[in-house]
Chain A
Amino acid sequence: MNIPKHDVLLIGGGGAGLRAAIAASETYRGADIGVVSKVYPMRSHTVSAEGGTAAVMREDDNLDLHAYDTIKGSDFLGDQDVVEAFVKEAIDEVIQLEHWGCPWSRDEDGRVSVRAFGGMSVKRTLYAADKTGFHMLHALFQTSLKYDAITRYDEWFVTSLLVEDGRVCGVTALNIRSGNIHAIGAKSVIICTGGAGKIFPFTTNAAIKNGDGMALAYRIGCPLKDLEFVQYHPTGLPGTGILMTEASRGEGGHLVNSKGERYLSEYVPGKMELGPRDILSRSFIHEQHQGNVFEGPDGSYVHLDLRHLGEKVIDEKLPFVRELTRNYVGIDPVHEPIPVRPVVHYCMGGVHTDINGATPISGLYAAGEAACVSLNGANRLGSNSLTECLVFGARAGQVAAQHAADTDFADSASMAKMAQDEQKRIETQFFGNNGKERVANIRDDLRKTMEEGAGIFRTEDALKATCDTIRTLKERYENIGIDDHSRVFNTDLVNALELGYMLDVAEGLAHSALLRRESRGSHARSDYEERDDENFLKHSLAYQTDGDPRIEYLPVTLTRWEPEERTY
């Protein structure tokens, strides 16, 4: 029985996945790389990133400063050895991307420009106007086309990780176009599937971000780390959640409440609009409680005011913001303030990996938002995530390729058999049981309970209720029925499989949040308002069990920075 096999197999073809694929193919001659992605790679959500990519590029900056900003931003939950490696390797990575054609914005002298960003103490965010992610992704994708060693499986959807003798040896994947499930063998598998913002109702995240890879790892016993940390971006459009980049504030935009005040002077006087995202998002809620916000059909909002920047700066530095606001809310930021509110944006947590992207399971790696290498801790700084995709995508690609060089493929026949079993499992579960539950209804209920229990502010009671609801939703999921029983491009089936992933990630997230009885970074407990270093200066690890997840803890790696009070 012949099945396709690759030394290194990527799940996901966004920023981290493509960087890893290129790194893997450059690690040793003859390495054969596969990239499985449920969308064509240039559709990946990296494309929506706007503001920029952080690296130390200028004379007024240094590695320790970038490291300290990141660690303080993380509320001291970032692993400091990881942060130190990150800031150091970031520089070469952004230059490498420059060599690969990324159209970075430039200063008059021809050097790449840098802009200010939240929580960064100097200008260190490279950018390509306000379409940085789009340009990075397309530069990476187009560059990847020249590597003959990379084989793509576009619009293939991974349904499980194959495990033999305790090591990952491949995947089963649904060829969406044909409807068939295939086994793909691999010596190393790297999960680069992005975050899980879509488990919340109101998010900047694209439809595809359902925590697929996190759940795949969780299901084979790999722990998910620090899942309780979910970042709300302070400036999304009400209703749609479309992101208004932090670069709007980096370039000098103001946040103004309904009384016309730049209200952040109450909360982050030293940073104002350039404070970190977690604090800015909480400030909005405080203003809401005080009645200092506007009310609209999509709830409360404040104003992001760019008018004083002028048309020239807006068109040059923030053209996408102008395009989006004109198209979606009929507002021209040159003349009117933009309505904004906090919106779910980023998962700090993810598949537990070490500093190289290796998980505790042999042959399994992860990078990018899907992973938790422990760079971002309890709160990520804006513009560190694109760089994270590059630095840890490259690391994971290299290490996975080295592992592959010393490993053999598992037996093809047994993998083919596993794919047959998987096809039967899926057909029985989704086509065979005449279930009555609709995907969209369970999904809506999940999103609602996540916002209620695991939103910007959390309490024991609300989190318990959310954990209970998720358990009920998982039972309802067993009784799911889908309308579409055909094979070719069955997106109904894909959505049903995605919902299964979402429920698993939500379960791990809610239980991790319930047990973290402190407030740190993005995790704000109204019933435990202080950070508690004595009990919780540690990472949470969620393991799937037959019942509720088991939560264990892991110490934070401290190198040179002692935890201190986090004020700005």
Chain B
Amino acid sequence: MSDLRTIKITVLRYRPEEEDAPTEQTYEVEFRDDWVVLDALNHIKDHIDGTLSFRWSCRMGVCGSCGMMVNGEPKLTCAAMLRDYYPNEVRVEPLVNFPIVRDLVIDMTDFMDKLKAVKPWIIREEEKPVSEGEYLQTPDQLKDYKQFSQCINCMLCYAACPVYGLEHDFVGPAAIALGHRYNLDSRDEGNQQRQHVIASKEGIWECTYVGECSVVCPKHVDPAEAIQQTKVATTTNRFKSLVMPWGNKK
């Protein structure tokens, strides 16, 4: 298991103070069988070239920091085993569809703004005092939204989404899925407040249902399904409001 093999890693470099456009750099790294791409990047940083910059933290696939393009696919580099690429070269680039700040670090401001725009918090007309205890929620009610609550905000789905690549106003897979997560939560009453973002032109209707977001999600969230469910619900509500002009309450 500790037999060392050597793999070539080509990394996109961009240092805005030194160069006008990205370049690339290749390193040779001896790796252990259980190493992930992130381990190789850390080896480079620690022992070969301290100028290489990238984000990482937990190294166990839950903090969402280390998403990058690995051989053209959006991946968590802490979950991409080097042995799966060997003996081929590995090419590491920053997530596409985002501006590059430096090397493998992207600018995630747009995602953070979109996350906030869908109001990802419990909205209620009246808050129940804490002293009255928890809201009851059955396991079935939990199941309704549970998978959409697993998003780690790694943004791989934005890198995979052809629509976001072309149209940056698109609210995008993760943010829509999170808004949908709250809409489906039995404790929440904020559906109407989220509609103007989620069901807007820049919301679900931009999605052409390519479904790549759901393919690349490392946590098996299905944003494409969230978007599809919302489209159906929105359409149904629209027709309901047409045939029942006095309101569309359930």
Contact = CB atoms under 8 A, between A and B. Distances in A.
B59 A206 contact: yes
A239 B105 CA distance: 27
Given A484-B50, A488-B15, A488-B101, A101 B63 contact: no
A380 B57 CA distance: 24
Contacts of A490: 53
B58 A48 contact: yes
Contacts of A45: 57-58, 63
Contact of A43 (B57, B61, B137, B185): B57
A43 B131 contact: no
A233 to B, nearest CB: 13
Interface in B171-204: 178, 182, 185, 187-188
Given A108-B138, A488-B16, A491-B53, A40 B108 contact: yes
Contacts of B178: 142
A106 B138 contact: yes
B30 interface: no
B57 A208 contact: yes
Given A43-B57, A134-B62, A145-B116, A110 B108 contact: no
Interface stretch (A4-12, A78-86, A91-99, A453-461): A91-99
A103 B53 contact: no
B131 A492 contact: no
Q: 4 nearest interchain CB pairs? A: A110-B136, A483-B50, A440-B46, A489-B102
Chain B residues touching A, majority SS: loop
Given A40-B112, A99-B127, A145 B134 contact: no
A240 to B, nearest CB: 7
Interface of A: 39-40, 42-45, 47-48, 92, 95-96, 98-101, 103-112, 131, 134-135, 138, 142-143, 145-146, 154, 177, 206-208, 239-240, 242-243, 296-297, 320, 323-324, 327-329, 438-440, 482-484, 486-492
B182 A42 contact: no
Contacts of B131: 92
B18 A486 contact: yes
A108 B139 contact: yes
B21 to A, nearest CB: 15
Contacts of A142: 115, 120-121, 178
Contacts of A134: 62, 152
B63 A103 contact: no
Interface residues on B, range: 35 or more
Contact of B17 (A43, A108, A488): A488
Contacts of B64: 42-43, 47
B49 interface: yes
Nearest to A94: B134
B197 to A, nearest CB: 13
Interface core residue of B53, B103, B153 (most chain A CB under 10 Å)? B53
A239 B133 CA distance: 43
B59 A483 contact: no
Interface in B60-105: 60-65, 79, 101-103, 105
B51 A111 contact: no
Interface core residue of A101, A143, A154, A297 (most chain B CB under 10 Å)? A101
A486 B105 CA distance: 15
B2 interface: yes
A129 B15 CA distance: 42
B62 A131 contact: yes
Given A110-B137, A110-B138, A206-B63, A489 B57 contact: no
Nearest to A57: B134
Contacts of B10: none
Contacts of B58: 43, 45, 47-48, 206-207
A92 B131 CA distance: 7
Interface of B: 1-2, 15-18, 34, 45-47, 49-51, 53-65, 79, 101-103, 105, 108, 112, 115-116, 119-122, 127-128, 130-131, 133-139, 141-142, 145-146, 149-153, 178, 182, 185, 187-188
A154 B2 CA distance: 39
A440 B130 CA distance: 48
A101 to B, nearest CB: 4
A142 B178 CA distance: 10
A483 B51 CA distance: 6
Contacts of A487: 17
A489 B52 CA distance: 10
A10 B34 CA distance: 38
Nearest to B131: A92
Contacts of B141: 106, 110
Contacts of A489: 53, 101-103, 105
B2 to A, nearest CB: 5
Contacts of B101: 177, 488-489
Nearest to A134: B62
Given A42-B153, A207-B57, 19 more contacts: A39-B57, A39-B65, A40-B108, A42-B64, A42-B152, A43-B64, A92-B130, A99-B130, A111-B136, A145-B116, A146-B119, A206-B57, A242-B59, A242-B60, A296-B1, A486-B51, A488-B17, A491-B53, A492-B51
Contacts of B34: 239-240, 328-329
A98 B122 CA distance: 10
A135 B47 CA distance: 36
Contacts of B146: 103
A103 B150 CA distance: 10
A98 B135 contact: yes
Given A110-B138, A142-B120, A323 B61 contact: yes
Contacts of A483: 49-51
Contacts of A492: 45, 50-51, 53
Nearest to B65: A43
Contacts of A104: 134
A324 B59 CA distance: 11
B68 to A, nearest CB: 14
A311 B50 CA distance: 45
A154 B111 CA distance: 13
A327 B185 contact: no
Contact of B122 (A95, A101, A107): A101
A320 B152 CA distance: 13
A146 B117 CA distance: 10
A99 B53 contact: no
A239 B35 CA distance: 10
